Structure 1
């Protein structure tokens, strides 16, 4: 189980009510379950979001297969409008 921080951007930040927070999780799926528990709006945003792990995109990999290392930063990037 790794500890790190999760950073929220745009609508994810609004839904979370914070810009970032610490976490403890083994993989991205576990982290998403933990951060969305009792936070329905954040759950809706997270389902549409993409993720960066220490700056590297997760892409279409299954979240359960994305192992989180100690001290990692996970960024939640909701869809952005405009260009």
Structure 2
């Protein structure tokens, strides 16, 4: 089980009620399952993209995206503008 930091931005930060928190999870899918226990965040996450140590998770199945020890996961909702 890896431990690391998840950082929330914009609407995800507002829904989470914090800018960041620590996590223990083996995969991005496991992390998403844990943080969607927050109903407000569960409504925002389907529109979000994720970076793991600066690398986009893209459209891969989040349960196949392994999280290394000490990882930083960024939760990025869509931003207005271009």
Q: How high is the TM-score relative to the length of structure 1?
A: 0.96
Unaligned 5+ runs, structure 2: none
Q: How high is the TM-score relative to the length of structure 2?
A: 0.97
Aligned residues: 82
Which consecutive segments of 4 or more residues in structure 1 shift more than 3 A? none
How far is the alpha carbon of 1:47 from its aligned partner? 1.0
Q: 1:1-83 maps to which residues of 2 (within 5 A)?
A: 1-37=1-37, 39-83=38-82
How many angstroms apart in 1 are the aligned matches of 2:43 and 2:62?
Answer: 16
Deviations along 1:6-59, one digit per CA (max 9) or x if unpaired, are: 00000000000000000000100100011111x111011111100000001111
- Residue 13 of structure 2 aligns to a residue in which SS? helix
- Residue 60 of structure 1 aligns to a residue in which SS? coil
Unaligned 5+ runs, structure 1: none
How far is the alpha carbon of 1:3 from its aligned partner? 0.2
